[in-house]
Structure 1
Amino acid sequence: MWAAQLVAPSTFAHVSVPAPLAAALAPGEVLLRVRAGAICGSDMPLFKGAIQRQGGLGNHPDGAPPGVGCPMHEVVGEVVASRHPGFAPGVTAVGWALGQDAIAELCVTEGDSLVPDDGRLTPPEAVVVQPLACVIYAVERMGDVAGRRVAVLGQGPIGVLFSHVLAARGARVVGVDRVDRSAAAPGFGFDFVHASCDRWVESLAPADRPDVVVESIGHQVGTLACAIEAAAPGGLVYYFGVPDDMVYPVPMHTLFRKDLTLRAGTTKDRPRVLRAAQDYLREHPAILDAYVTHRVPMSRVQEAYDLAAAPRAGQLKVVVEAA
Structure 2
Amino acid sequence: MWAYQLSGPCRLERVDVERPLAEDLAEDEVLLRTLAGGVCGSDLPKFRGGKGAVITPDGGWQAGRPGFPMHEVVGEVVASRHRAVAVGSRAVGWAVRSDALAEFVTTDGNQLQAVPPGLRPEQAVLIQSLACVWYAVEGLPVAGARVAVVGLGAMGLLLARILKERGAAEVIGVDPVDRTPVAHLFGLDRVVVAPSGPWSASLADRDRPAIVVEAVGHQVGTLQHAIDACAVGGQIVCFGIPDDEYYPLDMERLMRKNLTLCGRVTRRRREMLACGAQYLLDSPELFENLVTHEVPVADVQRAFTLALDPAARLKVVVRMG
Q: How far 1:64 moved relative to its partner? A: 8.1
Residue 112 (structure 2) pairs with residue 81 (structure 1): no
**Aligned mates of 1:229, 1:52 — CA distance in 2:** 32
Q: In percent, how many aligned pairs have the same letter?
A: 50
Contact 1:51 1:65 survives alignment (8 Å)? no
Q: How far 1:283 moved relative to its partner? A: 2.2
Q: Deviations over 1:146-191 (max 9, x none)?
A: 1100000000011001001101111120000011111121110112
- Give the structure 2 partner of residue 17 of structure 1: 17
Contact 2:73 2:100 survives alignment (8 Å)? yes
Secondary structure of the corresponding residue to residue 92 of structure 2: strand
Secondary structure of the corresponding residue to residue 226 of structure 1: helix
Contact 1:52 1:64 survives alignment (8 Å)? no
- Give the structure 1 partner of residue 64 of structure 2: 66
Residue identity in the other structure for 2:287? L
**Aligned mates of 1:120, 1:138 — CA distance in 2:** 27
- Give the structure 2 partner of residue 152 of structure 1: 149
Alignment of structure 1 residues 89-168 onto 2, 5 Å: 89-142=87-140, 144-168=141-165
Q: How far 1:51 moved relative to its partner? A: 2.8
- Give the structure 1 partner of residue 29 of structure 2: 29
Secondary structure of the corresponding residue to residue 20 of structure 1: coil
Contact 2:8 2:62 survives alignment (8 Å)? no
Contact 1:70 1:103 survives alignment (8 Å)? yes
Q: Deviations over 1:184-209 (max 9, x none)?
A: 21110112110010111122111110
Structure 2 residue ranges without an equivalent (≥5): 54-60
Q: Deviations over 1:43-87 (max 9, x none)?
A: 01110001349xxxxxxxxx9843100100001000010111111
- Give the structure 1 partner of residue 254 of structure 2: 255
Runs of 4+ aligned residues of structure 1 deviating over 3 Å after TM superposition are 63-66
Contact 1:51 1:64 survives alignment (8 Å)? no
**Aligned mates of 1:47, 1:116 — CA distance in 2:** 29
TM-score (norm 2): 0.95
Contact 1:32 1:79 survives alignment (8 Å)? yes
Secondary structure of the corresponding residue to residue 68 of structure 2: coil
Q: Deviations over 1:6-54 (max 9, x none)?
A: 000000110011100111000100000000000001101110001349x
Residue identity in the other structure for 1:28? D
Alignment of structure 1 residues 1-323 onto 2, 5 Å: 1-52=1-52, 65-142=63-140, 144-171=141-168, 172-190=170-188, 191-312=190-311, 315-323=313-321
Q: How far 1:96 moved relative to its partner? A: 0.4
Residue identity in the other structure for 1:33? R
The number of residue pairs the alignment matches comes to 312
**Aligned mates of 1:169, 1:52 — CA distance in 2:** 37
- Give the structure 2 partner of residue 56 of structure 1: none
Q: What RMSD in Å do the two structures reach over aligned CA positions?
A: 1.4
Q: How far 1:240 moved relative to its partner? A: 0.7
Residue identity in the other structure for 2:273? L
Contact 1:94 1:117 survives alignment (8 Å)? yes
**Aligned mates of 1:66, 1:50 — CA distance in 2:** 13
